[in-house]
Amino acid sequence: MNSDNRELEKKANSTANAAISDNTDELWQIVDEHLLHYGRDFVREFITSASGPYLHTATGRSIIDFSSGQMCATLGHNHPAILDAMQRSADSVIHLDSTMLSPSIAHLAKELCELLPPQLSKVLFLNTGAESNEAAIRLAKLYTGCFEIIGLTGSWHGTTYGAASTTYAHGRKGYGPGMPGTIAIPAPNCYRCPLGQCQTSCNLACLDFGFEYIDSVSVGSTAAMLIEPIQSAGGIIVPPEGYMEKLRALCDERSILLIFDEAQTGLGRVGTNFAFEQQAVVPDILSLSKTLGAGVPLAATITSKEIADNTREKGYSHYTSHASDPLTVEVGLAVVRTLVSEQLASRADEIGQYLMSGLQVLQDKYESIGDLRGRGLLLGVEIVTDRESKTPDKEYLAKLSQRCFELGLNVNRVGGPLAVWRIAPPLTISKSEMDLSLEIMDEAFSSTK
């Protein structure tokens, strides 16, 4: 084939691809025919670009993203610092053998650990939250010589084997046996006390009951407790005052390691660099993901020198093809530096209070808003049929969410059997964009029956 013919073929292919790309009906036919369904139905509108807090659709609409992508884009979509970091990696090195390191990994390890208490000083960089939790579970088992892992009802830690076995929000049925030794105790939902005791104040009865239950069913080989400091997928469940301190004491009495999964609460989201800072409890192992990569797959498992040294002597292995990848590590470094330089944690606290005030105005106006809760820019709005019965109204929540999307606001639904909006916009969102979002929510409530 001569060069002229090659050029003609290239142009023809380009024209054909463009025609397919511009024809959304044809694209949806391809999606329906070839994509494996993996959860909720796809939003039936193609996103062609994104910037800051906005998603831009193929039909020319701009939608404020109140879920930061998959809870990841904490700096906003396509933040310049992230794009610069990706370009630096593209200009130098994207991927290496996991035993080979780029300079950025040393900088990220140092600067990330400088944000943490000194006992959390050894870090492993991975890809996803599930993977970081798997690494944490393996560390705990090898260090303690035990195998039981305690979780909380309503938790979400991922869909790989160990993480899925300690995930109780949903997705458990139909997959056969989970990991041996998994135990769940009631989550501390103050709006819906799991024991039916705490109507006006919490006495931590659910925690006392939980550990009495553990003591009675455990085979005496409990390695760790894996929890989210604030449950997200479970419905934005914030532990009551004193819960974490008592939990720490109960774990210490039994030599149980405490693992905090801060996939969604870490790196400024809740108004501090990490959620555990608000609760005066330091975990033995910390897992990070989502917010660390701000849109690219980066996760971390962090622990103490003592646990790291002990497990290394025992031959700890969590070797993956993309551990310490230069591209994602470069992005993580940009995230940490942007978090610090722009004081995004304190900004999330300030603008989160502003958002909560706006939501309280809506709650006073609409009976269907049963409860508001959360910290910083991780807030939950629970929708009920009425405030007396507190019956979750998932059907109404779905209608509200669809109406918000039509009006230009993307809000995520969580809570398993509950009906909860998870509100988690980028930490860089402006007050004017927040005001517009509240106006859209107001309009959705007033126009949806």
Domain boundary among 277, 310, 341: 341
Q: Provide the residue range defining the domain that includes 63.
A: 31-78+344-447
Using alpha carbons, select from 320, 438, 254, 326 the residue that is nearest to residue 95.
326
Give the C-alpha separation, 323 to 318, whole Å.
9
Are 308 and 320 in a shared domain? Answer: yes
- Show the 3-state SS of the chain: CCHHHHHHHHHHHHHHHHHHHHCHHHHHHHHHHHCCCCCCCCCCCCEEEEEECEEEECCCCEEEECCHHHHCCCCCECCHHHHHHHHHHHHHCCCCCCCCCCHHHHHHHHHHHCCCCCCCCEEEEECCHHHHHHHHHHHHHHHHCCCEEEEECCCCCCCCHHHHHCCCCCCCCCCCCCCCCEEEECCCCCCCCCCCCCCCCCCCHHHHHHHHHHHHHCCCCEEEEEECCCECCCCCECCCCCHHHHHHHHHHHCCCEEEEECCCCCCCCCCCCCHHHHCCCCCCEEEECHHHCECECCEEEEECHHHHHHHHHCCCCCCCCCCCCHHHHHHHHHHHHHHHHCCHHHHHHHHHHHHHHHHHHHHHHCCCEEEEEEECCEEEEEEECCCCCCCECHHHHHHHHHHHHHHCEECEEECCCCCEEEECCCCCCCHHHHHHHHHHHHHHHHHCC
The pLDDT, as a whole number, for residue 406 is 97
The enclosing domain of 311 has a CATH number of: 3.40.640.10
Q: Amino acid identity of 12? A: A
Task: Specify if 10 maps to a domain.
Answer: no
Closest CA to 272 of 344, 370, 191, 195: 344
pLDDT of residue 197: 77
Each residue's pLDDT tens digit, 106-120: 999 999 999 999 999
**Domain presence at residue 8:** no
Question: Is the CB of residue 374 less than 8 Å from the CB of residue 238?
Answer: yes
**Do 50 and 120 have their domain in common?**
no
Identify the pLDDT of residue 24: 87
Pairing of strands 182-185, 148-152: parallel
Task: Check residue 21 and give its pLDDT.
Answer: 54
Provide the pLDDT for residue 199: 63
Give the tens place of pLDDT for each residue, 371-392.
Answer: 999 999 999 999 999 999 999 9
Of 40, 368, 373, 369, nearest to 187 by C-alpha is 373
| pLDDT of the residue at 7 | 52
Q: Are residues 107 and 149 in the same domain?
A: yes
Residue 22's pLDDT is what? Answer: 66
Task: Please identify every stretch of the chain with a pLDDT value under 50, giving residue numbers as ranges.
Answer: 1-3, 5-6, 8-20
| Same domain for 441 and 331 | no
* Claim to verify: residue 65 and residue 192 sit in the same structural domain: no
Q: Which residue from 224, 154, 156 is spatially nearest to 185, judged by alpha carbons?
A: 154
Shared domain check, 307 and 366 = no
What type of residue sits at position 30?
Answer: I
User: Which residues carry out catalysis?
Assistant: 156, 228, 261, 264, 290, 422
Residue 9 lies inside a defined structural domain of this protein: no
Residue 275 resides in a domain: yes
- Phi then psi for residue 422, to 5 deg, are -100, 110
- Is the C-alpha dihedral spanning 20, 26, 27, 33 positive or negative? negative
- Residue 51 forms beta bridges with which residues? 54
Q: Which two tokens stand for residue 181?
A: 């030794």
Residue 315's contacts (CB-CB under 8 Å, 6 or more residues apart) are none
* Tens digits of residue pLDDT in 400-439: 999 999 999 999 999 989 999 999 999 999 999 999 999 9
Mark whether 226 and 272 lie in a shared domain: yes
Q: Contact at 8 Å (CB) between 407 and 440?
A: yes
Domain's final residue, options 323, 341, 359:
341
Number of domains in the chain: 2
162 within some domain: yes
User: Do 417 and 397 belong to one domain?
Assistant: yes
| CATH number for the domain harbouring residue 69 | 3.90.1150.10
Residue 256 sits in the same domain as residue 242: yes
49 belongs to a structural domain: yes
Is the domain of 213 the same as that of 348? Answer: no
Residue 111: exposure state from Cβ atoms within 10 A (0-12, 13-18, ≥19) = middle
pLDDT at 9: 47
Residue 42 domain-assigned (yes or no) = yes
- Domain end point (choices 319, 341, 363): 341
Same domain assignment for residues 109 and 134: yes
Closest CA to 66 of 77, 58, 80, 82: 77
The strand pairing partners of 261, in sequence order, are 287
Residue 277 lies in a domain: yes
Handedness of CA 269, 270, 271, 272 (dihedral sign): negative
- Asked if 123 and 228 sit in the same domain, the reply is yes
